Structure 1
């Protein structure tokens, strides 16, 4: 992806569809639309997946909790959610095998009755997962459980039920969608903020007024249709188009705390099925750490970034502690992050945890704005298909959706064992080679070529992690990274797994980026200062040292 080339296109060409928001749903829509033959523009006011789509629990799942609620409450809408999620799960796994993989999850139980209950429920979950290659659930004896997860409380543990879902690197998966759309012909650019719309004489949208936040230049993107894929910020775009529209989005804040891998010391994840507020909590290995989450609280604030606070840390840690042989040392917390779910509700008094993670496509009759509202990561492709099906109807066409078996960037000819060739051909360390293959897939050799041309780029950013300097160069040249946070939070996932190491690596990353992008020393220092202040504030808020 080349941002300058995309900007020229955005300023000078006329598009069939302009998509606002480059998270999972927007990038998914862009790929679907361009594969159907439309001329497509994809823009975001920040970076790709900079909001909700990079702050998930990293699971691809149908929703065990939804299945339980469906049967307890005879709620067929919940059942439909599970079916859609499980149908899409194998597609998400197959289309980017380097970024998504099966994950075993264990649910510890304290009695045979609990074990039977969860075993029956998860067998039903398996039954709904048609056309799926993941292993089926099974009931494990206490000794089998402890062999897989040795840090559990032995005195309380009776057994556990193990089942499988998928895990993904959400930010890089979204980036792969955006890159795939770009390579198929879409004009794709980040840091393009919408300020308003232009309309035809009959009141229909025909232009998107935007500002390039990097140059402050303002211009208009000419388009026949505008699709709003801005998640929790959807109402703002809807009201730009038509101020009379009723608000539809109920933002819900969910946070994760990141702990050392040794807390579970397992490559398997854990599902905690009982919490005081009726949610489920997951403890999941990710990037050498362990994610613990999530929460579900109303949030009226969509202006400030949602962050982890001390009360939320305590809630999550106290939820996991009863299952562990040794209580968590809160001082060992490595990082944390928050995000906003774009829940749909017409009832402001309804609890967010009872709201469906379903989606809806709204077409405003006055302005013609198409809005994709609600949804979740697992069903992003289905959401995009439904949205572009509506675009087809508007254009009077009937195009085939081609995304079900479309391999994303890096997925073609992927072979995890190709890490051995990186070691042999480019003299890369084994841990670095495995990391590169699992993030860049069949394009990992492009990182190797950078190292071959400049051996200094083989140096790790930090000795405890497999991230190397060549990735910074690649991210700027090929992945449209503009700021240090683009790289440290989303191209590599260091910010969400280790705040201290992020601060340590920041000056080196800024040096490399500044040289590539031609930054002045003043601009480089500004980038370092602003990002380091953000990280320090995250740390202080999580420790309870700042008012929230």
Structure 2
């Protein structure tokens, strides 16, 4: 995947069936789905692929235990349906990119017999709704068994626990993998490219073309397309009002905040779900990429392209870590932290203004503006990205192109790096290239069946086998591969999303910056 080649294609192929604005999970999913159905597709992203919400989640693939609880309490069939759909999609996400996702066991501590029965029944219902798509069966655990599974758990007032299963993913790279697959199938994809203005028909005011700007080269281009899709998540209202200033806002945002702690905080593979905090939120303590991820708070926020973790959020999350883990954790042990905005869809503007964001249903809607014919996909969550894409492309066929929809095939489409993937290949790579077990396993999890391609770059440059920074498994060849094959253009692209080092360890990422900057500058000079 080469950015210059995609820019050349844009110059030579200015007419497309679909132009997608937004390169997060949903936009990527639409690009892949539409391309597989035979449409000519271009996708643009203002920053980098997955730069916003899609790389700042809690890294979970889940049906939504909390939504199931709300569905039962309020007899809300819509929330029940949403959980059922998400549980089916959970299986598909795990299957289509096994190198970037895995099943995850989660333990819910219980402090009374009644609480234990309550959660056990609820999670059995979760299993039942999943049916054949269940990842693993939930079960009640005695206090002794719970402490054997997670020795770090505070046992003083513990009565028992309930164990259940969901999934975990490397969100930024999963999104990239969807983008790469779409590009392999024929889509034009461009990061660091901004939508500047829309050219509309004088009579109907329908969008005819989109003026975009290459933010790295400062050149402007015009894209002609039959359909324009707004897949910008929390920023959807901006594009909607660019297309039709008379449209009323539909989006609200809540912020999810996370801290990252050293791996010895939670040594096993089982996560902890704190099902209810004092103010009614949910907190996860999760083993994640050799570290411990803690999140998330959930409160209304204002729209921002640069949300940051606030000190009060870090203190809030640490408080719950220390309530549930035996060994106290202090602020100095936080190795990194991040915050992201979640797009919450307002079904009816007036009736939802007083609703707390944690109670809003995170389902999605495809909106087609009657005047401009802009297609906006709003709401949703990571787990249902593929379903959101399918619904969007279906609507495009029926409502805009006025054609019979070609069937969606993304359910069975392995993503980039999944074809021929075998995790045990790490042993062969470690032997052949003389790298550590830790680095070999890391490469398999990041690049899947393309891990060998990363290592081939070291054939005549043995220095690329060395670590970027001590204490982390990343090798220097990865940076070269990120730039040459994964359209990484900036230090942030590499540290935040291709490698994810900054999300794990901010201090180590700072140490890595000089090498990454030097490598990027070398490629810039060669162009």
Quote how far apart the aligned CAs of 1:460 are: 0.3
Matches within 5 A, 1:405-484: 405-484=412-491
Does structure 2 conserve the Cα–Cα contact (< 8 Å) formed by 1:239 and 1:245?
yes
SS class of match (1:416):
coil
TM normalised by structure 1 equals: 0.93
For residue 221 of structure 1, give the secondary structure of its aligned residue in structure 2: strand
| Aligned equivalents of 2:148, 2:523: Cα separation in 1 | 48
Query: Which string of whole-angstrom CA distances, capped at 9 and with x for unpartnered residues, describes residues 284-317 of structure 1?
Result: 1111111111111111232x41111111111111
Aligned to 1:539: none
- Which residue pairs with 1:254 in the alignment? 256
Alpha-carbon distance in 2 for matches of 1:286, 1:50: 19
Equivalent in the alignment of 2:48: 47
Deviations 1:330-376 (A, max 9, x none): 11111100001110112322211111110000000000000000000
With the length of structure 2 as denominator, give the TM-score of the two structures: 0.97
Contact persistence 2:235–2:303 (CA under 8 A): no
Match of 1:100 in 2: 101
Q: Counterparts of 1:134 and 1:300 in 2: how far apart (Å)? A: 36
Q: 1:227 aligns with which of 222, 226, 229?
A: 229
Give 1:27's aligned residue.
28
Per-residue CA deviations over 1:56-91 (Å, capped at 9, x if unaligned) read 000000000000111011111111111111010000
Report 1:286-325 matches (<5 A).
286-302=288-304, 304-325=305-326
Alignment map for 1:456-535 (pairs within 5 Å): 456-518=463-525
Alpha-carbon distance in structure 2 between the residues aligned to 1:276 and 1:113: 19
Shift in Å, 1:133: 5.1
Alignment of 1:74-93 (within 5 A): 74-93=75-94
Task: Say which SS state the counterpart of residue 438 (structure 2) adopts.
Answer: helix
* Structure 2 counterpart of 1:147: 148
Q: 2:10 corresponds to which residue?
A: 10
Task: Count residues with an aligned counterpart.
Answer: 519
* Superposed displacement of residue 251, structure 1: 1.1
Distance 1:519 1:51, change over 3 A: farther
CA distance in 2, matches of 1:354, 1:310: 25
1:364 pairs, out of 361, 369, 373, with 369
Tell me what 1:535 maps to.
Answer: none
Matches within 5 A, 1:42-191: 42-132=43-133, 134-191=135-192
Cα offsets for 1:170-217 (capped at 9, x unmatched)? 000000000000000000010000111111232111211111100111
Shift in Å, 1:453: 2.8
- What is the Cα deviation at residue 236 of structure 1? 0.4
Contact 1:272 1:320 in 2 (8 A): no
Do the aligned partners of residues 218 and 173 (structure 1) sit closer, same or farther apart at CA in structure 2, a change above 3 Å counting?
same
Distance, in Å, in 2 between the alignment partners of 1:30 and 1:377 is 16
Question: Conserved in 2, the CA contact under 8 Å of 1:110 and 1:156?
Answer: yes
Distance 2:62 2:317 in 1: 21
Bigger mean CA offset, 304-313 vs 159-168: 304-313
Q: Distance in 2 between matches of 1:477 and 1:88?
A: 32
Matching residue of 2:360 = 355
Output the CA distance in 2 between the equivalents of 1:17 and 1:249.
23
Q: Contact 1:422/1:433 (CA < 8 Å) preserved in 2?
A: yes
The answer as to whether partners of 1:103 and 1:268 remain within 8 angstroms in 2 is yes
Other structure's SS at 2:229 match: strand
Deviates more, 1:293-302 or 1:371-380: 293-302
After superposition, the CA RMSD in angstroms is 1.2
Deviations 1:121-151 (A, max 9, x none): 1000000112225220111122221122111
Deviations 1:463-508 (A, max 9, x none): 2111000000000000000001101110011111111111111111
Structure 1 residue 519: deviation in Å? 7.9
How many Å separate the matches in 2 of 1:146 and 1:451?
45
Q: Is residue 274 of structure 2 the alignment partner of residue 285 of structure 1?
A: no
Seen in structure 2, the aligned counterparts of structure 1 residues 208 and 257 have a Cα distance that, compared at 3 Å, is same
Contact 1:461 1:469 in 2 (8 A): yes
Specify the SS of the correspondent of 2:158: coil
| SS in structure 2 at match of 1:274 | coil
2:246 alignment partner, SS class: coil
Kindly provide the CA deviation profile for residues 87-125 of structure 1, in whole angstroms up to 9, marking residues without a partner as x: 100000000000010000000111222111111110000
SS of alignment partner, residue 339 of structure 1: strand
Q: CA deviation at 1:253?
A: 1.1
**Which residue of 2 is the match for residue 330 of structure 1?**
331
Alpha-carbon distance between aligned partners in 2 of 1:281 and 1:429, rounded to the nearest angstrom: 34
- Alignment-derived partner of residue 273 in structure 2: 271
Q: Distance in 2 between matches of 1:99 and 1:135?
A: 19
Contact 1:426–1:449 (Cα < 8 Å) also in 2: no
What is the CA–CA distance in structure 2 between the aligned matches of 1:214 and 1:348, rounded to whole Å?
39
- Cα separation, 2, equivalents of 1:253 and 1:124: 29
Gaps of 5+ in 1: 521-548
1:398-436 CA-to-partner distances (Å, cap 9, x unmatched) read: 201010010000001111101011112222221111100
Asked if the contact 1:11–1:221 (Cα under 8 Å) also holds between the matched residues in 2, the reply is no
Following the alignment from structure 1 to structure 2, what is the Cα–Cα distance between the partners of residues 50 and 422?
31
**Aligned with 1:385 (options 384, 390, 415):** 390
Is the Cα contact below 8 Å between 2:96 and 2:415 reproduced in 1? yes
C-alpha contact (below 8 Å) 2:20/2:230 kept by paired residues:
yes
Moved more, 304-313 or 333-342: 304-313
8 A Cα contact 1:20 1:43, kept in partner:
yes
